């Protein structure tokens, strides 16, 4: 899909703030600093529509971005950021769960994990939780450019094994080299029933 229009809609913390229409939504989940906002910016070829930061844990709200008036990305607050209080973390957890449980617009979930590391305990919990509730995510391995060729292959094997998924359900991704951009778009096209290029 050629992106002609991409706009920030709202930074929401609760259900009553969600956009009130039937547009499909594509959700980005992953730990803090993994590259969720960069993933959105890369797909839509904008430098900074989704705010990126070198400061982990900065995105504390659910940010909705509308693309071509056809679908929205929902950039979720990152989990697993140690410096946030337990109370704060529980609040985010509830916010994300509320969305995932109740939102009719939900069309696909990307779970982003860092290529350079083993999936964290939080990554595994998130994955299992999604599978349990029948929202099998497409796993995106971020920052792939930071790995050597040998480590890239090992990392991919490791991810498929850890989550027990097929290699075709994992997208190696880089906001720098744009690896995986087309594959991610294909997932979105399928999820929203788009049949153009
Ligand atoms: P929070 O909103 O804090 O949860 O973070 P986020 O998941 O949205 O991560 P963000 O996109 O802000 O990226 C965090 C940092 O990683 C930034 O400094 C990005 O420039 C960097 N980064 C993201 N993706 C990539 C990538 O594919 N390659 C490289 N080399 N750096 C990346
Ligand atoms: Mg972010």
> Is any ligand 1 atom within 6 A of the Cβ of residue 63?
no
Length of the chain: 197
Whole-number Å distance between alpha carbons of 110 and 170: 10
The b/e string for 11-48 (b: 16+ C-beta within 10 A; e otherwise) is: ebeeeeebeeeebbbbbbbbbbbbbbbbbbbbbbeeee
> Is any ligand 1 atom within 6 A of the Cβ of residue 177?
no
DSSP string computed for 104-153 = TTEEEEEEEEETTSPPPHHHHHHHHHHHHTT-PPEEEEE-GGGS-HHHHH
| DSSP bridge pairs for 71 | 67
Q: Which atom of ligand 1 is nearest the CA belonging to 142?
A: 27
The answer, yes or no, to whether residue 167 has pLDDT greater than 70, is yes
Q: 175 CA distance to ligand 1 centroid (A)? A: 8
pLDDT tens readout for residues 71-100: 999 999 887 766 677 887 788 888 899 999
State the average pLDDT for the chain.
Answer: 92
In the predicted model, what is the mean pLDDT of residues 45-50?
Answer: 86
Given this model, what pLDDT does residue 39 score? 97
User: Nearest residue CA, atom 12 of ligand 1?
Assistant: 52
Region of 34 please: left (phi>0), alpha (psi -120 to 50) or beta. Answer: alpha
The three-class DSSP label of residue 19 is: coil
Q: At what angle do helices 36-43 and 181-192 cross, to 10 degrees?
A: 80
In order of start, what are the domains of the chain with their CATH numbers? 6-191 (3.40.50.300)
User: Nearest residue CA, atom 13 of ligand 1?
Assistant: 35
Q: Which atom of ligand 1 is nearest the CA belonging to 54?
A: 18
Mutational test site, ligand 1, from 48, 113, 175, 184, max ligand atoms within 8 Å of CB: 175
pTM score, two decimals? 0.94
The answer, yes or no, to whether residue 58 has pLDDT greater than 90, is no
């Amino acid at each position: 899909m050629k992106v002609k229009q991409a706009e920030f809609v709202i930074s929401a913390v609760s259900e009553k703030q969600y956009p009130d229409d039937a547009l499909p939504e594509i959700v980005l989940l992953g730990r803090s600093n993994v590259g969720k906002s960069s993933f959105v910016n890369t797909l839509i070829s904008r430098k900074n529509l989704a705010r990126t930061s070198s400061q982990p844990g900065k995105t504390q709200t659910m940010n909705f971005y509308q693309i071509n008036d056809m679908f929205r990305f929902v950039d979720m607050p990152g989990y697993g950021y140690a410096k946030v209080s337990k109370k704060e973390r529980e609040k985010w957890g509830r916010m994300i769960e509320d969305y995932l449980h109740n939102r009719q617009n939900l069309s696909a979930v990307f779970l982003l994990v860092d290529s350079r590391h083993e999936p964290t305990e939080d990554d595994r919990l998130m994955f299992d939780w999604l599978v349990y509730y029948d929202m099998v995510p497409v796993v995106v391995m971020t920052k792939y450019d930071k790995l050597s060729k040998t480590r890239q292959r090992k990392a991919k094997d490791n991810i498929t094994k850890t989550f027990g998924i097929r290699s075709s359900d994992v997208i190696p991704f880089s906001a720098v080299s744009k690896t995986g951009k087309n594959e991610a778009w294909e997932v979105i096209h399928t999820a929203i029933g788009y049949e153009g290029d």
